Structure 1
Amino acid sequence: MHPQVSRALSAAAGTGRGRISHKALLAGGLATALLLAACGSDDSGDAGSSEDGTTDISVGAIPIVDVAPLYLGVEKGFFDQQGLKLKIETAQGGAAIVPGVVSDQFQFGFSNTTSLLLAASKGLPLKVVTSGVATTGKDGADFGAVVVAEGSAVKTAADLAGKRVAVNTLNNINTTTVNKAVRDAGGDPSGISYVELPFPDIPAAIAKGDVDAGQVVEPFLTVAQNQGMRQVASNYVATHPELTIAAYFTSANYAKANAETVTKFTTAMNESLAYADSHPDEARAILSTYTEIDPAVQEAVTLPKWPSQVSEESVNALSELAVQDKLITSAPDISQLLP
């Protein structure tokens, strides 16, 4: 086996914003994706163009609030204007999307920043094309937070030390940002026992006492608060006030061979992000077209920010946290990853 493939296989599991088993990840074609990444590609010229001049592309995405601009951009015709015909392929999480992009199953994908940093640290040739979603920067009013039961003795982030905290994926963006919030509040996160649960299951686990707290994002944050739970930490805000939480990306090989298509996708995606950010009512309304969300919750969710620029400073912060929490041994060269 190619040494780059072997190294990446040993540590590639668990790199998604969504939850997926490590065995399923490895069985789902990751080895093929990594082999393609290691061997590279000799393709040249933009692929997928039809006789009418449009280009068919597939985008791997997670059906969560974060990707509202993608669906809104399709509805508004921003991708049509660039001659792109999108097929949005839903996946359970970034752990499935990253190898899908590397193997050209998807031409573009959406994944959280820490997952992309972990993949880059293992030598996977990824290239971010634009920002995906960012924190609101408002403590107590973000689209992601750590919540506890109403009567919990946990009052602040520091009190999470030594507690059982549910996250959707172990050793990823939510564990490192919660650790950061705890440290900054004067607590020691080393004794936290993280429990991996899907976002929808976290409020129920808190209510039953199976865990002491849980990190959730919208719409599950609103669901939890409607059940009487309260926030004790805005972990994304605590990490950086302009934290780039996720991004849209492609493979370095595809970007080199299809530069024009990448430029068109980036242009349309940036227009979509800007439109969603300045038209929150329309962004909120689009949620019902690709998620099963209760109408009352849909009206109440806190929307994230959708800047078109990646905050390099915040990506560096996530990279440093990944090293500090021993997710990776050394920080990757983010200049090779970012636009």
Structure 2
Amino acid sequence: MSSITRRDLMAAAAATALATSLAAPALAQSLPQVEFLYSPYADYAPFFVAKEFGFFEEFGVDVTLSPKGDTAETIQMLASGNIEAGSATWASSLFNALDRGATVAIIATSARMPSTVPSPSPFMVSQLAWDAGVRTVADLKGKRIGIPGPGGFGMFSVGKALEKGGLTFEDVEPIFLPPPATAAAFANGALDAGWSIEPFAQQLEKQGLGRRLVEDHTFGTELGLIAFNQDFVTENEDAVVEFMAAYLKAARLLDTGGWNDDKVLRAVAKYTGTEPDSLRGIPYTIRSEDGAIDMASVREQEEFFRSRGALEYDGPVDIEGVYRLDLLKRANELLANKK
């Protein structure tokens, strides 16, 4: 073979490589883009897995995962169109926003508490309080209790735990702080007990800072939901369906033994800021297989916040009017047809 022929072949190969490298970004840019708000908790694992395992791209949607604040911030950003999607808890701020006509569409559940122990979201007592004689919920009267916020699942969960000892929020001193801050508060005596969630609950145990006090107080409770900006949904129904199909694929992988996969643990560790080994063996939240929401559980939480005087309206809010079961059904069908 002559040198000229070799040069021709090399030039052709280089041109092909260049065309391919240019086409790849163009292809990525052509996919519908969704920015999704998450919190660094293990119950967001399906989104982490769908991203790291390439499920979103497989179904044809380009997803960016962005850390968020609380539920109120999530709903505000969704309603204003500053973000396309996110997960939030069933909080008083969400119920009030829906009553005011917030432009969000609810698509599916994001997490549900299992009906087994150990719980992925236990009510914990500090080791210092335990050593001082706190052995039951009733012993916490007048004590400082940690809650992640004044109107979300954490407050509902703590309220149910206090009921186990015949207490209410009026019997304790609520202290609002996020789960990552609980370790320091337990260690220095700033908190006597409080709400937690994985992977932070197991860390408290391993560090000898806290013990599980109540775990059977929220069996089967809907913890969170997946919501989209309503205008985005109207203009991009197919993208929402594709996003949800990828989410369902990841959720089913996790709920059928996926937590034993080291690759899964590395994916979750990346977004929770923990080591993979710290996730091994911890209890996890679950989901319904088809992603449907248990509305009875949601209504129970709505009534809890009403009893706290946190709702600005009377009667049940119209959740069904923004719950897009039709898109969830299409996502299940898309996933089934992919197999």
TM-score of the superposed pair, with normalisation by structure 2: 0.77
SS for the counterpart of 1:302 is: coil
SS state at 1:290 partner? helix
What pairs up with 1:91-102 in 2 under 5 angstroms? 91-102=68-79
- Which moves more between the two structures, 73-82 or 102-111? 73-82
- Contact 1:108–1:248 (CA under 8 A) maintained in structure 2: yes
Identity across aligned pairs (percent)? Answer: 21
1:318 paired with 2:301, answer yes
Q: Deviations over 1:259-310 (max 9, x none)?
A: 2222222222222211221212234332222232134422243222133221
Amino acid at match of 2:62: K
Given the superposition, is the C-alpha separation of residues 272 and 51 from structure 1 closer, same or farther in structure 2, using an over 3 Å criterion?
A: closer
User: Secondary structure of the residue that 1:334 maps to in structure 2?
Assistant: coil
Distance in structure 2 (CA, Å) of the matches to 1:336 and 1:153: 50
Aligned with 2:161: secondary structure? helix
With over 3 angstroms needed to count, the CA separation of the structure-2 counterparts of 1:138 and 1:88, relative to structure 1, is same
Please say if 1:131 is aligned against 2:112. Answer: no
d(CA) in 2 for partners of 1:314, 1:127: 19
Aligned to 2:265: 284
Quote the offset at 1:152 in angstroms: 4.2
Counterpart CA distance in 1 for 2:34 and 2:238 is 13
Letter in structure 1 aligned against 2:319: I
> Are 1:201 and 2:181 counterparts?
yes
Q: 1:264 aligns with which of 239, 242, 260?
A: 242
Conserved 8 A contact 1:161-1:190: no
Report the structure number with the largest CA radius of gyration: 2
Aligned: 1:147 with 2:128: no
- CA separation in 1, counterparts of 2:213 and 2:322? 33
Q: How far apart in 2 are the matches of 1:201 and 1:309? A: 33
After superposition, the Cα gap between the structure-2 partners of 1:92 and 1:171, relative to the gap in structure 1 and judged at 3 Å, is: closer
**Partner of residue 333, structure 1:** 318
Q: Secondary structure at the match of 2:124?
A: strand
| Letter aligned with residue 116 of structure 1 | L
Q: What is the SS of the residue equivalent to 2:149?
A: coil
SS where residue 226 of structure 2 aligns?
strand
Is the contact made by 1:128 and 1:248 (CA closer than 8 Å) also made in structure 2?
A: yes
For residue 217 of structure 2, the aligned residue among 238, 243, 250 is 238
1:130/1:269 contact within 8 Å kept: no
Q: For the structure 1 residues 317 and 160, does the alpha-carbon distance in structure 2 shift closer, same or farther, using more than 3 Å as the test?
A: farther
1:140-175 per-residue CA deviation (whole Å, 9 max, x = no partner) reads: x11111211231433233433432101121232212
- Equivalent residue letter for 1:315: V
Q: Match of 2:111, as an amino acid?
A: V
Aligned to 2:94: 116
Match of 1:178 among 158, 165, 185: 158
CA distance in 2, matches of 1:122, 1:158: 39
In structure 2, the CA distance between the partners of 1:156 and 1:333, relative to structure 1 (3 Å rule), is farther
CA gap 1:54/1:225 in 2 versus in 1, 3 angstroms:
same
Which residue identity lines up with residue 171 of structure 2 in the other structure? G
Query: Equivalences for 1:40-51 in 2 at 5 Å?
Result: none
Compute the RMSD of aligned alpha carbons.
2.4
Aligned position for 1:299: 280
Q: Given that residues 71 and 152 in structure 2 are in contact (C-alpha distance below 8 angstroms), is that contact kept between their aligned partners in structure 1?
A: no
Other structure's SS at 2:119 match: coil
User: Quick one: which amino acid aligns to residue 94 of structure 2?
Assistant: L
Give the match for residue 32 of structure 2.
55
Other-structure match for 1:10:
none
Contact 1:147 1:213 in 2 (8 A): yes
- Contact between 1:158 and 1:183, CA under 8 Å: does it hold in 2? no
Instruction: Note the residue ranges of structure 1 that are not aligned, 5 or more in a row.
Output: 1-48
| SS, match of residue 214 in structure 1 | strand
How big is each residue's C-alpha offset from its partner over 1:187-213, in whole Å with a ceiling of 9 and x where there is no partner? 333222110122122122123221221
In 2, the alpha carbon distance for the partners of 1:171 and 1:106 equals 22
CA contact (8 A) 2:265 2:276 kept: no
**Aligned partners of 1:294 and 1:269: how far apart in 2?**
23
Change (3 A) 1:332 1:76: same
Shift of 1:81: 2.7
Size of the aligned set, in residue pairs, is 287
For 2:46 and 2:31, the matched residues in 1 are separated by 21
Q: Distance between the aligned counterparts of 2:28 and 2:193, measured in 1?
A: 55
User: Secondary structure of the equivalent of 1:260?
Assistant: helix
CA contact (8 A) 1:280 1:303 kept: no
Whole-angstrom distance in 1 between the partners of 2:103 and 2:165: 37
Mapped to 2, the partners of 1:295 and 1:56 lie a distance apart of 29
* Aligned amino acid, residue 194 of structure 1: P
TM-score between both structures, scaled by the size of structure 1: 0.77
Q: Distance in 1 between matches of 2:311 and 2:73?
A: 20
